[in-house]
Amino acid sequence: MRIVTVSNRLPVVIDRRDDAWAIRPGAGGLVTALAPLLRRWGGVWIGWPGIDEFENADTQRLLAEFGRSEGYELRAVSLTADECNGFYHGYCNEIIWPLFHDLESRCNFVPDYWTVYLAVKRKFADVTQQAIGPDDFVWVQDYHLMGVGRVLRSRGIANKMGFFLHIPFPPPDTFCKLPWRSEVLEGLLSYDIVGFQTPRDVENFSDCVRKLMPRTRRQHRGKMLRVTRSGRTCALGTFPIGIDYAEWAGGAAVPAVSQRVRQLREEMQGLQILLGIDRLDYTKGVPYRLKAIRLALQRFPELHKAITLLQVVVPSREGVPEYQDLKAEIERLVTQINGEFTQPGWVPIHHVFRSIDREELLAYYRLADVALVTPLKDGMNLVAKEYCACQVDGNGVLILSEFAGAAEQLKHGAVLVNPYDLDTVAEAIRKAVAMTKHQRRPAMRRLRKVIEKENVYWWLNQYMRACGLSAPGEAANSPAKPPATADAPPPVVEISGL
């Protein structure tokens, strides 16, 4: 048996360097988690390579070479520019992404997007069908490809198939606005197992099934909910994705990062540092966060010259007008707030609009006295977990949105807030800044313990066990690879929602 994983993007970045095509491994939680599994079990990763010209001989050769050196095979799905537009930019980013984050007013329900999606999911199914043997386990990742399993079933493929949704699943009132709601539900029920980030998502999915498919049987077995329809059973379960804790904690403690933290501390002249790290996306709640900072500075003058917000926004989907508007709104708010409160020698907000390299990210995480992770809705939010893992000195405070999936695991230890409630967020900031080391340390210790135990390998093992596929010789919570150091070559910044 091999694992055949299917995701929108292949776990590599292919680009032109000095007039020649080059391939590099992608970074990010999914690659870190799945690559060792594929290496150990042998497997195939199927996805779009991220470029249109991939069919040229050079890039085909690069994919083959990369596969040989990594120990698993890469198979590319070729998409035309029109397909990328209708499927990825349209169906995925203008419909499913906002809808599943409860932001239906941002949806653009263009019928053609669905038509293109149907063609694209058939392409993914074609490549998958060619790649699998009768015993292989097919594991499809995330919202882009919910319907691939159903296409395969319709072609008589009987392999064990699983799906994992990285983003939230919305409640019925929201989900039912989707013109193709029944097709999407039926698509998901074609898998043997569907994994969600939180119990909230399983409950929402189950409520949608109850509402739209009343003749479906639902039955709890252990931690799983089994849904049976037309003789086929699909098991639903909660599998909160984790991070490679050892890698983050180890990376934050290497001498180069410690040195950078000392340097930044000197530059920040004793200020408490509040940190925000977000992809440019309206779900991440950056404008609300900035308004909460403004309110905190208006209400609590003792915060002046005592705190500074270091807000990193990573460019994403930059060609899309809505994202340009969001960028402009963030810039306007930062300018207004800095204009209102800056004094000689003190700026309340440092705004970084670019992606930062891993060593700098590790230093920011370790440096920050308070992390502000306040998405309006989020499947999990790995930034919250990475921040805590990097708090090797144990003095940080995590302010976390109750609407992030991570809140379920981190509610004991984090300061939970409703990101829309500016009063409460402003008050949480004041309290967090005033907390003593004695108050901070036990809470951070608790958070780190959960994140260390329920790490990305734990996530993988839980999922595999639920599929009846425990990895041979698996070490429950540990990677099958040496920990990376901050001296490793800079990884590519790849964020799954991009």
Single residue of 3, 125, 277, 464 touching ligand GDG by CB under 6 A: 277
The three-state secondary structure class of 273 is strand
- For ligand GDG, give the closer residue by CB, 28 or 479: 28
Q: Yes or no: say if 223 and 195 are a contact pair by the CB < 8 Å rule.
A: no
Q: Compute the distance between CA of residue 369 and CA of residue 387 in angstroms, rounded to an integer.
A: 10
Residue type, 389: A
Single residue of 386, 427, 452, 454 touching ligand GDG by CB under 6 A: 386
Q: Which are the contacts of 7, defined by CB distance < 8 A and separation ≥ 6?
A: 30, 45, 46, 47, 140, 141, 142, 144, 145
147 interacts with ligand GDG by CB under 6 A: no
204 interacts with ligand GDG by CB under 6 A: no
Among residues 142, 166, 201, 244, the one annotated as catalytic is 166
274 interacts with ligand GDG by CB under 6 A: no
Q: Which are the contacts of 74, defined by CB distance < 8 A and separation ≥ 6?
A: 10, 11, 12, 44, 45, 46, 63, 64, 66, 67
103 interacts with ligand GDG by CB under 6 A: no
Shortest Å, Cβ 246 to ligand GDG: 15
Both tokens assigned to 481: 């690879």
378 interacts with ligand GDG by CB under 6 A: yes
The three-state secondary structure class of 130 is helix
The neighbour count for residue 388, using CB atoms within 10 Å, is 32
- Catalytic site residue 166? yes
**What residues numbered 337-366 form the site for ligand GDG, per CB under 6 A?**
355-356, 358, 361
Measured in whole angstroms, the distance separating CA 363 from the mean position of its chain's CA atoms is 21
Shortest Å, Cβ 100 to ligand GDG: 10
Residue type, 474: E
**What residues numbered 423-462 form the site for ligand GDG, per CB under 6 A?**
none
Q: Compute the distance between CA of residue 46 and CA of residue 73 in angstroms, rounded to an integer.
A: 9
123 interacts with ligand GDG by CB under 6 A: no
Residue the block writes with tokens 């995330």: 142
383 interacts with ligand GDG by CB under 6 A: yes
- How many CA atoms lie within 13 Å of 435's alpha carbon, on the beta-carbon side? 23
Q: Yes or no: say if 139 and 6 are a contact pair by the CB < 8 Å rule.
A: yes
Single residue of 8, 59, 198, 381 touching ligand GDG by CB under 6 A: 381
Shortest Å, Cβ 149 to ligand GDG: 19
Shortest Å, Cβ 384 to ligand GDG: 8
Q: How many positions of this chain bind ligand GDG (CB under 6 A)?
A: 24
- For ligand GDG, give the closer residue by CB, 152 or 334: 334
Instruction: Compose the 283-322 pattern: x for residues touching ligand GDG by CB under 6 A, - for all others.
Output: -----------------------------x-x--------
- For ligand GDG, give the closer residue by CB, 247 or 386: 386
29 interacts with ligand GDG by CB under 6 A: yes
Shortest Å, Cβ 355 to ligand GDG: 4
Q: Compute the distance between CA of residue 30 and CA of residue 495 in angstroms, rounded to an integer.
A: 10
Q: Yes or no: say if 305 and 340 are a contact pair by the CB < 8 Å rule.
A: no
- Catalytic site residue 378? yes
**What residues numbered 207-266 form the site for ligand GDG, per CB under 6 A?**
241
Both tokens assigned to 474: 């698996």
How many residues are listed for the chain in this entry?
498
Site residues (vs ligand GDG, CB under 6 A): 28-29, 166-167, 241, 277, 279, 312, 314, 355-356, 358, 361, 378-383, 386, 493, 495-497
Catalytic center residues = 166, 378
